[in-house]
């Protein structure tokens, strides 16, 4: 296993408006571009989200996951996916935004859970808009081009994950996969376990109290004609303790057609590396491949 970690980029220059800061933005942009090409993953530091809020949100999730199954299953399923235990490996709480970082339904336990999650979602949304513009710049695209695909923030989602301790003969957590949307922002507890695949090796992503993990999704990979990588990643469970993390999925409109942009194909004489697709249909295909895996591994839609 590789021992190196993914790159860490200081994104504080993007939150300053002074002219002297342009050099800092340029350096950060270059580092993010290289990370997107090489890893598809990177850490961001000085991201503008209060560390106290990140920690408090983690504590809230841990309190929720420690509650009884009766309390968890009482949440209406038409608003969120309550905890679903997958073969004794993990459970998750998935809450989709209804509008402007607000949730229609949220667990009552622990107290103020809704308030904290909505504040967290608001910060993630604002950070996502900044990252969207950075990624556009890294690709040499107009700053608002990606916004044409992602202007419906009600498609975003916030998910908390609780992984149970691994047994002696089983250390698997969430299986290897790629994320389908634009990009994902992750905060993991001190236990860690998140790993990304690079050149056939699994690189552990070190946990940090003050850093966030960002990974590129399939949509960005396709739009860039595979210039940026939607990297395969997984979660390896610890042997003696639970692992908790939460992720914000910066998503896009379901009715959008996705195919390699002309800036990365015909304008530079390159052939498209995949065919276009309707995003909603792609999500349905991915889900179907989970419930009914095809006979041939190459037919899986998790890698497009």
CATH, residue 208: 2.60.120.330
Q: Residues near 34 by Cβ (< 8 Å), separated by ≥ 6?
A: 7
**DSSP assignments along 79-129, one per residue:** TEE-----TTSEEEEEEE-SBTTB-S----SSTTHHHHHHHHHHHHHHHHH
Tell me the pLDDT tens digit for each residue of 93-117.
888 766 555 666 678 788 899 899 9
Count of structural domains, the chain: 1
Q: pLDDT at position 303, please?
A: 44
Beta strand 157-163 with 257-258 is unpaired
pLDDT at 165 over 70: yes
pLDDT at 302 over 70: no
241 or 150: which carries more pLDDT confidence? 241
What whole-number distance in Å separates Cα of residue 231 and Cα of residue 221? 9
Q: Does 1 map to a domain?
A: no
Q: Does 2 map to a domain?
A: no
What whole-number distance in Å separates Cα of residue 182 and Cα of residue 150? 8
Tell me the pLDDT tens digit for each residue of 46-82.
999 999 999 999 999 999 999 888 887 776 654 445 5
Q: Does 14 map to a domain?
A: yes
Q: Which DSSP letter does residue 272 get?
A: -
Place of tokens 């395969």: 232
Tell me the pLDDT tens digit for each residue of 230-240.
999 999 998 88
Tell me the pLDDT band of 34, cut-offs 50, 70 and 90.
very high
**C-beta of residue 272 within 8 angstroms of C-beta of residue 259:** yes
Tell me the pLDDT band of 92, cut-offs 50, 70 and 90.
confident
pLDDT (mean) for 204-228: 96
Q: Does 106 map to a domain?
A: yes
pLDDT at 224 over 60: yes
Tell me the pLDDT band of 301, cut-offs 50, 70 and 90.
very low
pTM for the predicted model, two decimal places: 0.90
Q: Which domain holds residue 59?
A: 8-299
Mean pLDDT of the chain: 85
Q: Does 304 map to a domain?
A: no
DSSP 3-state percent helix, strand, coil across the chain (nearest 5): 35, 20, 45
Q: Does 3 map to a domain?
A: no
**C-beta of residue 28 within 8 angstroms of C-beta of residue 45:** no
Q: Does 102 map to a domain?
A: yes
| Closest to 207 (Cα-Cα) out of 186, 221, 233 | 186
Q: Does 20 map to a domain?
A: yes
């Amino acid at each position: 296993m590789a021992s190196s970690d993914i790159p860490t980029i200081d994104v504080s220059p993007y939150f300053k408006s002074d002219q002297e800061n342009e050099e800092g933005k340029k350096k950060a942009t270059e580092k993010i571009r290289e990370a997107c090409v090489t890893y598809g993953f990177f850490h961001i530091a000085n991201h503008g989200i209060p560390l106290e809020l990140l920690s408090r949100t983690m504590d809230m999730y841990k309190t929720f996951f420690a509650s009884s199954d009766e309390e968890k299953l009482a949440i209406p399923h038409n608003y969120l996916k309550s905890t679903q235990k997958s073969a004794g490996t993990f459970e998750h709480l998935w809450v989709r935004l209804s509008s402007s970082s607000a949730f229609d339904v949220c667990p009552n336990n622990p107290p103020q859970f809704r308030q904290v999650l909505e504040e967290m979602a608001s910060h993630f949304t604002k950070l996502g808009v900044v990252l969207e513009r950075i990624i556009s710049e890294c690709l040499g695209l107009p700053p608002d081009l990606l916004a044409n695909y992602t202007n419906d923030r009600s498609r975003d989602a916030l998910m908390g994950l609780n992984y149970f301790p691994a047994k002696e003969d089983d250390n698997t957590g969430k299986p290897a996969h790629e994320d389908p949307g634009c990009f994902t922002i992750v905060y993991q507890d001190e236990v860690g376990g998140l790993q990304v695949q690079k050149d056939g090796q699994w690189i552990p992503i070190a946990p940090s109290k003050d850093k966030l993990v960002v990974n590129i999704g399939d949509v960005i990979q396709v739009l860039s004609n595979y210039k940026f990588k939607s990297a395969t990643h997984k979660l390896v469970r610890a042997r003696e303790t639970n692992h908790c993390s939460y992720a914000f999925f910066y998503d896009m409109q379901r009715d959008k057609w996705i195919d390699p942009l002309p800036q990365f194909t015909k304008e530079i004489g390159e052939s498209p590396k995949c065919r276009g697709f309707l995003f909603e249909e792609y999500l349905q295909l991915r889900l179907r491949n989970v419930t009914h895996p095809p006979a041939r591994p190459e037919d899986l839609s998790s890698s497009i």
